[in-house]
């Protein structure tokens, strides 16, 4: 007997088809991994099950929860089911909690909304128990804490506590760890697994990351463009699937671009004993503002043509260090030299040096002005030059930059919203290339991309580095990507570099305890037998 049985679910929103004949089922206590790239409809399947679809949604088919069709259930009945029979955990823990209400109240609300007779005190007591089960013991995390006083991982624990407070039969987790660091991700996955086995819950785990579910799911379902492509037991599907899309997906997630080692032994970027302090808000009316040391005595060198990785958890000082290297902020100690000259001189960024480096950020949409055309967007770095190219010369440079990232000159007349995420990131790279810099800083540049797009961008980066002799500083929390694209790696923790060395050597034999923790926490795909890996080609 299935707990959840989705039969031929089709869904359109304002006439746009989203889901097409989706059928899925979950037995009590089972973990189902739903995998797909963006736009595959995996999240909408979850929202359809919760019946929390956006306005204008039109669903057909059946969603049976213990035999009851949720598509025909009335809204008041659905309210009684949500939170009690089905709990849901969301992707973005930073925004999933009401910022104005204490965590205790928010967890207790789940209990009280479904049981009016429950007293406030009793609900709070049970909320405390639930939070403790989710790894937030009351002595360290009192119920009176507000969300802004918690980290992302802790907030996700609160969201999980709200979802499981009534021990629902089904828990839906929509990308629950995507926004978290690897070590936090590993802890949240362990927590979910434990709760599922303790309470006998079924778990629908939605993710784009194959490695995340491969270690915990009983069954896996692969979705693409609103359809279920393949479904099966986790072990056999990962190792034996012959479906071309599934294989391509697996290929892409462990993609290794062909790279030519082009490093010379000449330093391009020299970071020497850099210290970066921030002022903290004053504690009292007349108290001195405190200081937070975000980067502490960091030194490293980056050679011409080299690709260097920088890994660490959020808040470790990666971004602060990046801003200092770009000359956007002054450092409080040490020096940063590019080609032998300081990046920040006489209280302002050194333009002469600044034009030798460019940066590509994570969010391919947020880093473009939506009201400018591509030609103007990618020509932005020209303002760093002493003489700005004009007329035909300018157009030629724009065309060249677009072509070098695999786009066409026609694209320069378009706006940024006309491009997909992968194309936007290509445009961001074109913008970085246009003034022919020596160093490109890639700040989580592929983190927001789907695996197949990510593989293409990694290939592009490898190709560009070989063609133009570029040097990369590759900042990422994703260890597999860093392993694929870098020669050397720096590991950063609490503002300090705790380990550095050849990428392969560091990953195979990490010396520092923190590096070992990071590597152990990173989810890994099981090895795929070679004879199956060969069949790809899609």
Partner 1 sequence: MLIYALKRLRSLVLSLLVASVVIFAVIEVVPGDPAAFMLGINAQEDTIAALREELGLNLSVYQRYFNWVGGLLSGDFGISYTYRSPVAEIVTERLWVSLPLAAYALSLTVLLAFPAGILAASRRGSVTDLSVMGFTQLGVAIPNFWFAMLMVLAFAINLRWFSAGGFPGWDEGFWISMKSLTLPAIALALPQASILARVMRSSLLDTLGEDYVRTCRAKGLSKAQALWRHALRNALIPVLTIIGLQFSFLLAGAIIIENVFFLPGLGRLVFQSISQRDLIVVESVVMLLVFAVILVNFAVDIAYALVDPRLRRGR
Look-up of token digits 């008041």 = 76
Distance between CA 181 and CA 227 in Å, rounded?
30
Q: Going residue by residue from 58 to 97, which x/- string records binding to partner 1, judged by CB under 8 A?
A: -----------------xx--xxxxxx--xx-x-x--xxx
**41 contacts 16 by C-beta, under 8 angstroms:** no
Nearer to partner 1 by Cβ, of 41 and 83: the residue is 83
Angstrom distance (rounded) from CA 25 to CA 32: 9
Rounded-to-integer distance, Cα 133 and Cα 201, Å: 15
Only one of the segments 190-198, 281-289, 437-445, 518-526 lies at the binding site for partner 1 (rule: CB under 8 A); that segment is 281-289
> Distance between CA atoms of 433 and 91, rounded to whole angstroms?
34
Selected from 15, 67, 121, 284, the binder of partner 1 by CB under 8 A is 284
CB of 98 to partner 1, least distance (A): 5
Quickly count: other Cβ atoms within 10 Å of residue 119's Cβ. 9
In angstroms, what is the minimal distance from the CB of 55 to partner 1? Answer: 8
Does residue 110 belong to the site contacting partner 1 (CB under 8 A)? yes
**Secondary structure E strands in 225-266:** 227-233
Contacting residue, 149, 198, 393, 502, with partner 1 by CB under 8 A: 149
* Window of 280-288, 401-409, 444-452, 508-516 that interacts with partner 1 by CB under 8 A: 280-288
Question: What DSSP string describes 133-148?
Answer: HTT--TTTS-TT--GG
Assigned token pair, 363: 């969010």
Alpha-carbon torsion (141, 143, 149, 150), positive or negative: positive
CB 133 → partner 1: shortest distance, Å? 17
15 vs 99, which CB is nearer to partner 1?
99
Candidate list 14, 52, 68, 529; residue touching partner 1; CB under 8 A:
52
Backbone angles phi, psi at 341, to 5 degrees: -120, 145
Q: How many residues does the chain have?
A: 538
Residue 201 DSSP class? -
The CA–CA distances, whole Å, from 130 to 107, 125, 359 equal: 8, 9, 44
Question: Which of 90/344 has CB closer to partner 1?
Answer: 90
Query: How far apart, in whole angstroms, are the C-alpha atoms of residue 453 and residue 472?
Result: 19
Q: Which stretch binds partner 1 (CB under 8 A): 145-153, 209-217, 229-237, 530-538?
A: 145-153
Query: Out of 60, 98, 369, 388, which residue is the one contacting partner 1 (CB under 8 A)?
Result: 98
- Nearest residue to 325 (alpha-carbon basis) of 314, 336, 309, 311: 336
Nearest residue (CB) to partner 1, 80 versus 525: 80
109 vs 478, which CB is nearer to partner 1? Answer: 109
113 binds partner 1 (CB under 8 A): yes
Per-residue binding letters, 239-278, with partner 1 (x by CB under 8 A): ----------------------------------------
What minimum distance in Å lies between the beta carbon of 173 and partner 1?
A: 11
Q: What is the rounded CA–CA span in Å between residue 211 and residue 52? A: 28
Q: What is the CA radius of gyration of the chain?
A: 25
What character string, x for contact with partner 1 (CB under 8 A) and - otherwise, covers 154-193? -----x--xx------------------------------
Q: Which is nearer to partner 1, 106 or 456 (CB)?
A: 106
Supply the minimum distance, in Å, between the C-beta of residue 368 and partner 1.
23
Residue 32 or 89 with smaller CB distance to partner 1: 89
Using CB under 8 A as the binding rule, whether residue 114 contacts partner 1 is answered as yes
**Which residue from 181, 277, 281 is spatially nearest to 521, judged by alpha carbons?**
181
Give whichever of 15 and 284 is closer to partner 1, judged by the CB atom.
284
Q: Who's near 104: CB < 8 A, 6+ residues apart?
A: 124, 127, 128, 131, 142, 143, 144, 145
Stretch that binds partner 1, among 241-249, 261-269, 282-290, 334-342 (CB under 8 A): 282-290
C-beta closer to partner 1: residue 164 or 221? 164
In the complex, the smallest distance separating the C-beta of residue 314 from partner 1, rounded to whole angstroms, is 18
Q: Helix axis angle, 513-521 relative to 182-199, nearest 10°?
A: 50
Q: Give least dist CB 123 to partner 1, A.
A: 13
Applying CB under 8 A, which of residues 140, 258, 265, 285 lies at the interface with partner 1?
Answer: 285
522 lines the binding site for partner 1 (CB under 8 A):
no
Q: How many CB atoms lie within 10 A of CB 140?
A: 8
Query: Which of these, 246, 250, 134, lies nearest to 199 by C-alpha position?
Result: 134
> Which residues are at the interface with partner 1 (CB under 8 A)?
50, 52, 75-76, 79-84, 87-88, 90, 92, 95-102, 109-110, 113-114, 146, 148-149, 159, 162-163, 281, 283-285
């Amino acid at each position: 007997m299935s707990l959840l049985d989705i039969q031929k679910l089709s869904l359109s929103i304002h006439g746009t088809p989203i889901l097409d004949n989706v059928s899925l089922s979950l037995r009590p206590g089972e973990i189902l991994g739903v995998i797909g790239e963006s736009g595959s409809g995996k999240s909408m399947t979850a929202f359809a099950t919760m019946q929390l679809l956006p306005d204008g949604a039109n669903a057909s088919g059946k969603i049976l929860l213990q035999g009851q069709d949720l598509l025909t259930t009335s809204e008041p009945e659905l309210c009684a089911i949500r939170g009690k029979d089905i709990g849901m955990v969301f992707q973005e823990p930073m925004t999933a909690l009401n910022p104005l209400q204490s965590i205790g109240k928010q967890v207790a609300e789940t209990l009280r909304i479904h049981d009016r007779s429950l007293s406030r005190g009793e609900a709070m007591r049970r909320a405390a128990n639930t939070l403790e089960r989710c790894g937030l013991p009351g002595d360290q995390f009192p119920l009176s804490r507000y969300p802004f006083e918690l980290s992302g991982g802790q907030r996700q624990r609160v969201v999980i506590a709200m979802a499981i407070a009534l021990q629902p039969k089904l828990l839906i987790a929509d990308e629950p760890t995507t926004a978290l660091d690897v070590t936090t991700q590993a802890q949240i996955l362990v927590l979910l697994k434990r709760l599922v086995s303790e309470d006998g819950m079924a778990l629908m785990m939605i993710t784009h990351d194959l490695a995340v579910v491969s270690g915990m799911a009983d069954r896996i379902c692969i979705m693409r463009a609103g359809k279920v492509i393949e479904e099966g037991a986790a072990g056999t599907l990962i190792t034996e699937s012959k479906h071309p899309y599934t294989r391509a997906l697996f290929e892409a997630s462990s993609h290794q671009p062909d790279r030519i080692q082009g490093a010379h032994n000449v330093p391009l970027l020299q970071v020497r004993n850099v210290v970066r302090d921030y002022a903290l808000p004053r504690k009292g009316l007349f108290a001195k503002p405190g200081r937070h040391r975000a980067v502490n005595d960091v030194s490293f060198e980056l050679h011409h043509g080299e690709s260097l990785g920088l890994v660490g958890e959020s808040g470790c000082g990666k971004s602060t260090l990046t801003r200092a290297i770009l000359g956007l902020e002054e450092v409080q100690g040490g020096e940063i030299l590019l080609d032998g000259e300081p990046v920040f001189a006489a209280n302002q960024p050194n333009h002469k040096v600044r034009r030798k480096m460019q940066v590509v950020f994570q969010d391919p949409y947020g880093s473009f002005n939506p009201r400018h055309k591509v030609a103007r967007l990618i020509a932005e770095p020209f303002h760093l030059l002493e003489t700005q190219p004009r007329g035909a010369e300018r157009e030629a440079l724009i065309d060249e930059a677009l072509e070098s990232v695999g786009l066409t000159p026609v694209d320069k007349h378009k706006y940024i919203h006309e491009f997909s995420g992968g194309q936007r990131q290509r445009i961001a790279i074109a913008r970085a290339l246009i003034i022919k810099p020596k160093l490109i800083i890639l700040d989580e540049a592929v983190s927001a991309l789907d695996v197949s797009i990510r593989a293409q961008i990694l290939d592009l980066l490898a190709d560009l580095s070989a063609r133009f002799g570029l040097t990369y500083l590759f900042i990422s929390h994703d260890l597999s990507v860093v392993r694929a694209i870098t020669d050397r790696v720096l590991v950063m923790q609490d503002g300090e570099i705790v380990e550095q060395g050849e990428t392969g050597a560091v990953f195979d034999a990490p010396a520092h305890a923190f590096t070992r923790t990071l590597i152990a926490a990173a989810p890994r795909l099981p090895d795929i037998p070679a004879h199956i890996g060969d069949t790809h080609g899609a």
